[in-house]
Amino acid sequence: MNEEEKKEQLFFDGLRAYEERDFFEAHELWEELWSEYYLADRTFIQGLIQLAVSFVHLGNGNLNGAKSLLKKSADKFSSFSGVHRGINIDNLKQQIVEITNEYEQLMTVDGFDWTHIPDLKIL
């Protein structure tokens, strides 16, 4: 497998793990992509990593960590719009706003509705 194929595989394997709600594995795959290759859109990949880690924190009962990483993720996506790497960025940013609002309403992580996880399906 050449370098370009490896980069693509890491990205799509991360997406698959995310869609399967294996947020830790998604983070690991995207982290490898981000750290091993200096990508033109590395800020975007970092946003995906932080999005996944937000849900890792939430799953571990760390609401403050989840909130912090979600905000960092939103900041990373702020310079992107339209469709990037097949993901509808405008839709993603709106979903992050909705989750931010939901996080603010939570007293404990038990109340989170996991069906609200942003959809990263490729268009």
Q: What is the pLDDT of residues 34-87, one digit of tens each?
A: 999 989 999 999 999 999 999 999 999 999 999 999 999 999 999 999 999 999
Alpha carbons 108 and 61: distance in angstroms, whole number: 8
Q: What is the pTM of this model?
A: 0.95
Angle of helix 63-77 relative to helix 89-105, nearest 10 degrees? 160
Question: Long-range contacts for 24-33 (Cβ within 8 Å, ≥24 apart)?
Answer: 24/52, 24/56, 26/52, 27/52, 27/53, 27/56, 33/7
Alpha carbons 66 and 60: distance in angstroms, whole number: 9
Contact status, residue 119 vs residue 94, Cβ threshold 8 Å = no
Range with the poorest average pLDDT among 9-13, 55-59, 119-123: 119-123
Q: Is the pLDDT of residue 110 over 90?
A: no
What is the identity of the amino acid at 9?
Q
Collapsing DSSP states into helix, strand and coil, what is residue 84? strand
Q: Is the pLDDT of residue 123 over 70?
A: no
Helices (H), the chain: 3-19, 23-36, 42-59, 63-77, 89-105
The CATH architecture annotation of domain 3-116 reads: Orthogonal Bundle (1.10)
Mean pLDDT (the chain, rounded): 94
